[in-house]
Structure 1
Amino acid sequence: MRVVVDAETLETTIRRVAGCLAIRGRNLVRPEQPLGAKAVRNADLPAHRYGISAHRWPLIDVAVAYGMTLSHAHHSIADMITRAAQFEFEIAVLDSIVGTGAADLSLTTAVADRRMHGRFGSSLSMERAAAFASEILSRRIASADARMAMPCISIPK
């Protein structure tokens, strides 16, 4: 299923993609319908993974706040990462970021530039953006250093 995500920042994009994955795309038909409490929780978990959660706590604290075990939180995130393969996300702001990296500009230098930093959003780091692009979209942000990658959740094939 093709999903066009129109957002000014990658941070906003991650929130929208997480919401879509949390309810298996049901909000694509009626986007004006608010997410239920369970969907909000499920969307907050991958958002937390990529550094833009409403909570700045360790995942165990987020899980406990939602009445979940850490294992259940990890399983929910892994399920949503797996579910992402069912969608084809079209994200212009990510294309712009990838294009900047492909233009042989050091992404670290590009992020320091105000215009590029504005594409990420106020709290999203380059490392977390690279993890989102890799895990959810199977895309690589050029020049993102592999040493800065986040630990992966193992997902059964």
Structure 2
Amino acid sequence: MPRRSDEPRHREKTAEPCTEQVRKPVSADALIRDEDGRLLLVKPALKAFWDLPGGVVGPAESPRAAARGRIGEELGLAVDPGRLLVLEWVGPHESWAGQLMFVFDGGGLAAGRAEQVRPVGDSVEDTAFVTLDEARNLLRSDVMSLLEKSLIALLTGGCDYFELA
């Protein structure tokens, strides 16, 4: 008779390989707009380019909780990320073994709230609400592509998955 998967012996045997699996970095960002539909970008202190607000997902953290947490920590902004817009897998590159990137709908800010968004701490140097054309001048091409995919999902009510080799 086969053993049930919830028996302690089975859990011990299946838990061990999970600790040895390759881990991939995961990031979670949010698409946040002001009352005029401009997009919130951040200039991280440790990057040479602008980015979407959010950041790295911790080991025991959900992507949605990570987006909420990083935005709160770095911008002092209380955002409850809504539906998932895009999930993107980026293949191995440089010293990375691949990465999963989540982008959630961060919603729109109430009138006058955008002017109050400022970096908190030292992980973000600057913030800006920009048009899509302005974003093209600030973002690296891969981040701009992720932003455009997120906007399409926002406008169509969809959610999409992409793989970048």
TM-score over 0.5 for the pair: no
- Which one has the bigger helix percentage? 1
Say which one has the larger Rg: 2
Q: Under a length normalisation based on structure 2, what TM-score does the superposition of the two structures give?
A: 0.30
Q: Under a length normalisation based on structure 1, what TM-score does the superposition of the two structures give?
A: 0.31
- Which one has the bigger strand percentage? 2
